[in-house]
Amino acid sequence: MSKGQEGVLPQGKEQENLLVMLERAQSEFGYVPEEFIVEAAHSLNVSISEVYGVATFYSFLSTKPLGKNVIRICKSLPCYLKNSQMIIKSVEDEIGIKPGETTPDGKFSFELTNCIGACDEAPAMLINNDVHVNLTPGKISQILKSYK
């Protein structure tokens, strides 16, 4: 583990610190590295599989490095009923990757997420921390252009 990673670990040894640790790793490194998971498991005295389980459960934690901009389209029911499948398709066409992938130039990562609380303006997506709502396939290319 590098020096930078040590600073991210909180002092407490309690297991309830796990999620906080993973969130910090995510914001510090842009993902949760494997070495970090090993170290976290050690310091909290839990198994690696348990830490990996928590890290893979949450949509906003990633165990793989992500691109510069992260697109997260809501896959929950209200957005689905408002045709989020079409939005997913048009993002795929626009940047040429499927959910779970990162563009070769590292500019975009494309993820599906659980509800982001914008159901009243569905379908919705997040790009980094910006919420985009009332999406139509026509709006996608312009929105993405502003992040290129």
Partner 1 sequence: MRKIEKITVTIDGSQVSGCEGMTILELAQQNGIDIPTLCHSPELTPIGACRICVVAVEGSRTLVGSCHTPITQGMVIYTHSPKVLETRKVIVELLLASHCGSCYMCEKANVCQLRKIAADLEVGLPRFQTRKRYYPIEDVSPYIQRDLSKCVLCWRCVRACNEIAKQNVFGIAYRGFNSKVVVDFDQPIDKEVCQDCNVCIDICPTGALSKPREVGEEKKGRPLVISS
CB nearer to partner 1: give 48 or 81.
48
Residue placing its CB nearer to partner 1 in the complex, 114 or 136: 114
53's tokens:
């389980």
Secondary structure class of 9 (helix, strand, coil): coil
Alpha helices in the chain (DSSP H): 3-6, 18-29, 34-44, 48-57, 77-81, 84-95, 137-145
In whole angstroms, the minimum distance from the beta carbon of 139 to partner 1 comes to: 28
Specify burial of residue 55 (Cβ count, 10 A radius: 0-12, 13-18, 19+).
buried
Task: Compute the distance between CA of residue 24 and CA of residue 28 in angstroms, rounded to an integer.
Answer: 6
Compare residues 57 and 104 and give the one whose CB is closer to partner 1: 57
Interface contacts to partner 1, rule CB under 8 A: 34, 37, 46-53, 56-57, 59, 63, 114
Nearer to partner 1, 19 or 133 (CB): 19
CB of 49 to partner 1, least distance (A): 3
> What's the closest the beta carbon of residue 44 comes to partner 1, in angstroms?
12
| Min CB(56)–partner 1 separation in Å | 4
Collapsing DSSP states into helix, strand and coil, what is residue 131?
A: strand
